[in-house]
Structure 1
């Protein structure tokens, strides 16, 4: 297995501690990865020559000069930096039509990402020692072995001991497609939620739909106060109407008695991999394992703190792809000095940019939900 001194070191840092020493480790890791990628992809060297003819990566400001890859490039091209035999895992976005992103990982990159995710989830407060019933509103991992959202949800199943695990978007062999039987799962949830704490993971739209079905077939449900929701994958209800995290929290408190403080959300891109988790104030904190900036979409120059622009993401952990500097289509604002007292900046607001929807996990899942009974 290849070794990368600084890249490995970044994955061992504390997620929400920032200082000059940590910054320099991150800079060294970005330089280490970029120098490796330049040997594998001639077009990266061409991009560098086209922009400024050279790049010295010595400070945290220098990393933003690494020419970013536009996120759509990974939807049309399989960007891999290693021989096929070194690739341990390939994940895709779960679009049912159109282009799919392929994310490649070697053994070392998987190990680093697992460390990173575990550290972030623990530090943000998503872990528990209490055994729970897991209701995973995502594609059945036994069938969807290469779908990124299911792989991410599988990571979250390790955050609390398991009494049982239910993967709720099931593969139907007869129709050869995924289905969601909302009444089946609503009845099981009613039964199991009376026996102890539950955890709901996955797409918020499916959670919303299941609760709506519970309201139709049963008296109001009040879950154990130790229950928790970890959502991810787009904020819409089952009809496709946009929701905010705050609106979703109010809905769940009203209908199943779960306090909004027990609802967490994760934001992320399949093409990037780093999880950005919401704190108790609904802010998506940026961990030590990445750096982000907000850019003017025309000039790509950074905008002032608190102003809206497109999101530029940087992380060195994955050497199997040249996506260490990635330009997304998401439009965000950043904030700082969160009342939760975690160090660093956070993503304050997020919305999708562009004239058309990108066919990703959440949109594809919403199509399945609309077609389910």
Structure 2
């Protein structure tokens, strides 16, 4: 089912057809992880009354995203890569176990999602980050993001040193060689703003041929009153940069990224879907009703990350409008959920810790 959805042009599958196709694949993944991952099996037994064939997407068991910080959840002993979420010193980090099959599915999914934006030819690549993010012992979400985007780039240049100080000479040299034709830039949103944008003056760099892909760090920017609209307008004014694509994703579902459309909404790709839930009952919201975002994905086979309740607050604005050729759900992520709203997730975590089977 994953291959069939992947073969279709990105965002081309209508919502009802997509739900039916994803349901088959998610039932298969739920059964696979129930068989192979003992903590997941305990959760399904205790919190969902045991496994079954689920009739609706909303019935698929989900894991709160925080549980990946509490437990080692792996469905294969052969994982070749352990990804960790970004976090400040002292914070617990999610641990995501990726084997060759899942890595290949993630890679194929990213190519499917970004090819319509970037084309099939690899572009000169300016990473708004430090090379150390790839060479540090622990691969974080930032490192995984840079590594994922490098498959679309060539002749990579890193804009910052290990201390996250912008190397102005390296940036200027990159532009002198490649700036007269299309090139790719990628970085976490806060780094693009606090490092690249704030290190140069208006007109000092010409990034008009650049294509910027960015994500993450919005919480810090919102604290500085920098909205998505302000961010885009500022980069256009300072650098002449107009092709800017925000996306939503998280390390617990690497490869399942929602890219911003022409309408400013985020669109789940064909193999991924969203359910927005009310935090008081965990029932699905109506369209236009705000709630906690759950993300379903057909990608992860090496760990039970196919149905994850995030800590993000969001809303589905409309479905199948076809804006810019994009069908399916049009989503907005509104911010983080107050911790008090997530109390119901403790039942799932408690079930995972109950070994009396």
TM normalised by structure 2 equals 0.82
Work out the number of aligned pairs and report it: 330
Any idea what SS the aligned residue of 2:151 has? helix
CA RMSD of aligned residues (A): 2.7
Closer/same/farther in 2, CA of residues 194 and 167 from structure 1, 3 Å limit: closer
**1: CA distance between counterparts of 2:122 and 2:81?**
31
Deviations 1:56-85 (A, max 9, x none): 4364x2x321221111110122111111xx
Select the residue among 57, 69, 73 that pairs with 1:75: 69
**1: CA distance between counterparts of 2:336 and 2:189?**
17
Verify: 1:105 aligned to 2:72, yes or no: no
Q: Conserved in 1, the CA contact under 8 Å of 2:141 and 2:250?
A: no
Structure 1 equivalent of residue 287 of structure 2 = 305
Verify: 1:143 aligned to 2:135, yes or no: yes
**2: CA distance between counterparts of 1:140 and 1:127?**
28
Structure 1 equivalent of residue 157 of structure 2 = 166
Structure 1 equivalent of residue 79 of structure 2 = 87
Deviations 1:329-367 (A, max 9, x none): 1000112225323111121233111249xxxxxxxxxxx
Structure 2 equivalent of residue 134 of structure 1 = 126
Q: Conserved in 2, the CA contact under 8 Å of 1:138 and 1:202?
A: no
Q: Conserved in 1, the CA contact under 8 Å of 2:221 and 2:227?
A: no
Name structure 1 gaps, 5 residues minimum: 1-5, 172-178, 357-373
Q: Conserved in 2, the CA contact under 8 Å of 1:137 and 1:200?
A: no
Closer/same/farther in 2, CA of residues 188 and 202 from structure 1, 3 Å limit: same
Select the residue among 256, 262, 285 that pairs with 1:280: 262
Q: 1:200, CA displacement in angstroms?
A: 2.5
Closer/same/farther in 2, CA of residues 49 and 103 from structure 1, 3 Å limit: closer
Verify: 1:66 aligned to 2:60, yes or no: yes
Closer/same/farther in 2, CA of residues 117 and 292 from structure 1, 3 Å limit: same
**2: CA distance between counterparts of 1:237 and 1:255?**
21
Structure 2 equivalent of residue 174 of structure 1 = none
Structure 2 equivalent of residue 205 of structure 1 = 190
Q: Conserved in 2, the CA contact under 8 Å of 1:91 and 1:103?
A: yes
Q: Conserved in 1, the CA contact under 8 Å of 2:159 and 2:171?
A: no
Deviations 1:22-81 (A, max 9, x none): 54432221111111111134454444444553564364x2x3212211111101221111
Select the residue among 351, 360, 365 that pairs with 2:335: 351
**2: CA distance between counterparts of 1:201 and 1:58?**
39
Q: Conserved in 1, the CA contact under 8 Å of 2:277 and 2:283?
A: yes
Structure 2 equivalent of residue 366 of structure 1 = none
**1: CA distance between counterparts of 2:134 and 2:17?**
43
Verify: 1:57 aligned to 2:43, yes or no: no
**2: CA distance between counterparts of 1:99 and 1:169?**
26
Alignment of 1:213-232 (within 5 A): 213-215=199-201, 220-232=203-215
Name structure 2 gaps, 5 residues minimum: 341-357
**1: CA distance between counterparts of 2:17 and 2:315?**
27
